[in-house]
Amino acid sequence: MSEIELRNLSKRWGSFVGVQDFNLTIADQEFLVLLGPSGCGKTTTMRMIAGLEDVTDGEILVDGKVINDLEPKDRDVSMVFQSYALYPNMNVYENIRFPLKVRKVPEAEHEERVMRASAMVELDDFLHRKPAELSGGQRQRVALARAIVREPNVFLMDEPLSNLDAKLRVSTRAQIKNLSHELKVTTIYVTHDQIEAMTLADRVVVMKGGIVQQVGSPTEIYDTPANAFVASFIGSPAMNLINGEVTKKAFSGDTISVSGLDLPDGPVTLGFRAEDAAIVEKGGQIQAPVYTMELLGDATMITVKVNGELVSVKAAKDYRAEIGDMVRISVPKEICHMFDAQTGARIG
Ligand code: ATP
């Protein structure tokens, strides 16, 4: 059992804030993903949990006990990094066994544990190879096996897939998800890739500038983003965001008018997702010339440009239009997300 609690966890270097007042309880066996752009504080948070970075303020508790002052080796966590950090002179077997030697696990247990860990990541046939004789995906699996062999209660993974090509990333992602489930460990996983976050996580924490923006299940974060930043960070393509003004329950911006909104008068940012809008023959809230058309296989993405703003809408896979053709886009109020124009906070 390993429940992790972060209480007002903060990291500062001088006056620079790396992480500020992070509060969260991560349940035993939960798969939690820290997501955000470069420099938002994901790695720093993870390194504090691993004990590789001192905590400036706040507490980290594991199963109710404060671990701030525990040495990294005394914390029951295994970390997998973006760079595999394998020992080039050791073969796969020795690399996987290394943590057992460091921790002075009785020799008699080594072989069985290495074999079990290597089987989990399907490396049984590669045990005698040196890292240089492996593909990138196989090397990352050695790094995973080396984390597994310790049988920790907590896995910390920092962008473990970022050195893999797109296809390998998808299969290794599935393997990580499966392993975490099978091993029944609490996993904290850092990524800047929203698709990785959405596919892996029980809950996602979206961070920006060291501050948590939203914590929720992938569905919650996608369906009800807490602010315009989260809305623009989750989903592919990014949510369409249009600045404008609400007057007498109607939004009007440079590109669009939507009526029947239950909001007070004032400046707001209106958002909607490409997949929620539709191209229509008549009516519609936006009329604009096609800027690009992209064939996605299962759909066609139409992007229009109105007064400098790009707005995307997903159409049927056999929909075709030429650049410059006028299209009408339906944006009913039901699909609209409304954000405060100044703070970005969700208001409807
Ligand atoms: P990335 O995806 O690029 O790894 P991240 O979200 O993991 O980004 P962190 O590595 O946690 O970001 O860094 C958060 C911020 O703290 C960054 O602005 C970084 O420059 C800063 N930072 C990290 N380590 C130090 C340090 N030792 N001294 C000063 N500032 C630091």
Q: Given a cut of 80, is residue 266 above it in pLDDT?
A: yes
Mutate to test the pocket of ligand 1, among 43, 47, 82, 196 (most ligand atoms within 8 A of CB): 43
Is the model more confident about 180 or about 17?
17
The per-residue pLDDT for 53 is 95
What integer pLDDT is reported at residue 51 of this predicted model? 94
CA of 197 to the centre of ligand 1 (A): 20
Question: Which are the contacts of 194, defined by CB distance < 8 A and separation ≥ 6?
Answer: 35, 233, 234, 235, 236
For 271-290, the pLDDT digits (tens) are 999 999 999 999 899 999 99
Cα distance between residue 217 and residue 201, in whole Å: 7
Q: State in Å: Cα 258 to ligand 1 middle.
A: 41
Centre of ligand 1 to C-alpha 210, Å, is 9
Residue 67 C-alpha to ligand 1 middle, in angstroms? 22
Q: How many CB atoms lie within 10 A of CB 294?
A: 11
Nearest CA owner, ligand 1 atom 18: 39
Ligand 1 midpoint to CA 19 (Å) = 9
Residue 228 pLDDT grade (very low, low, confident, very high; cuts 50, 70, 90): very high
Task: Please list every protein residue whose CB sits less than 6 Å from any atom of ligand 1.
Answer: 13, 16, 18, 36, 38-44, 192
- The atom of ligand 1 lying closest to the CA of 46 is 11
**8 vs 124: which has the higher pLDDT:** 8
Q: In angstroms, what is the span from residue 45 Cα to ligand 1's centroid?
A: 10
For residues 237 and 301, is the Cβ–Cβ distance under 8 A?
Answer: yes
**Which atom of ligand 1 sits closest to the CA of residue 190?**
7
Cβ-proximal residues to 13 (8 Å cutoff; 6+ apart), any chain: none
Separation CA 143–CA 157 (nearest Å) = 11
Ligand 1 centroid to 159 CA: how many Å?
A: 14
Q: Which atom of ligand 1 is nearest to the CA of 43?
A: 7
**Digit-coded pLDDT (tens) for 293-333:** 999 999 999 999 877 789 999 999 999 999 999 999 999 99
- Inform me whether the pLDDT recorded for 269 exceeds 80: yes
Alpha helices in 201-249 (DSSP H): 218-223, 228-233
Beta pairing, strands 250-253 & 257-258: antiparallel
pLDDT band at 46 (very low <50, low <70, confident <90, very high): very high
pLDDT of residue 140: 87
pLDDT of 202 > 80? The answer is yes
This prediction's pTM: 0.90
pLDDT tens-digit readout, 128-181: 999 999 988 889 889 989 988 988 889 999 998 887 788 878 888 888 888 888
pLDDT tens figures, 61-119: 999 999 999 998 888 888 887 777 889 999 999 999 999 998 889 999 999 999 998 98
Query: Atom 20 (ligand 1): residue with closest C-alpha?
Result: 39
| pLDDT of 164 | 78
How is the beta sheet containing 65-66 ordered, strand by strand? Answer: 16-26, 4-13, 57-62, 65-66
